[in-house]
């Protein structure tokens, strides 16, 4: 797995999936007695006109993208998550069929790969 494949997979399987999952929840909360907060969101969302629903989806996409970007910045070491002088350095590898691939650190920051994707 290359760093680009990793970033693409995170975008599709995490960020995009989170948006789709949230919209599905808003459209139809699951279970016999869903949480009241989710029922409230669902009632609000379903009461919106289609243009406003589309704006909610667009806002969810922005939030999911910002979250993924932030996590990749942390992995890349350009966003601090520790409040101390000695900070951790993150290393990310993937192993497939006995071969190990270095995802990070690499020649390019993961958050830059995300922003370079169309």
The CB density around residue 110, as the number of other CB atoms within 10 Å, is 26
- pLDDT score of 61: 97
What are residue 8's phi and psi, to 5 degrees?
-60, -45
- pLDDT score of 43: 97
- What residue ranges do the domains of the chain occupy? 3-116
> Whole-model pTM?
0.89
Calculate the CA 61 to chain-centre distance: 9
| Average per-residue pLDDT for the chain | 95
* Mean pLDDT in residue range 22-29: 96
- pLDDT score of 86: 85
* Mean pLDDT in residue range 41-62: 98
Distance (Å, rounded) from C-alpha 15 to C-alpha 43? 24
Q: Percent of the chain, pLDDT > 90?
A: 91
Q: Percent of the chain, pLDDT > 70?
A: 98
């Amino acid at each position: 797995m290359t760093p680009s494949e990793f970033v693409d997979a995170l975008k599709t399987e995490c960020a995009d999936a989170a948006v789709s999952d949230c919209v599905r929840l808003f459209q139809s909360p699951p279970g016999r007695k869903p949480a009241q907060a989710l029922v409230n969101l669902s009632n609000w969302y379903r009461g919106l006109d289609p243009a406003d629903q589309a704006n909610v989806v667009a806002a969810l996409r922005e939030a999911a993208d910002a979250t993924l970007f932030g996590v990749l910045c942390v992995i890349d070491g350009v966003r601090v998550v520790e409040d101390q002088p000695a900070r951790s350095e993150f290393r990310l590898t993937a192993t497939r069929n006995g071969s190990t691939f270095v995802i990070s650190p690499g020649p390019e920051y993961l958050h830059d790969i995300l922003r370079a994707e169309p």
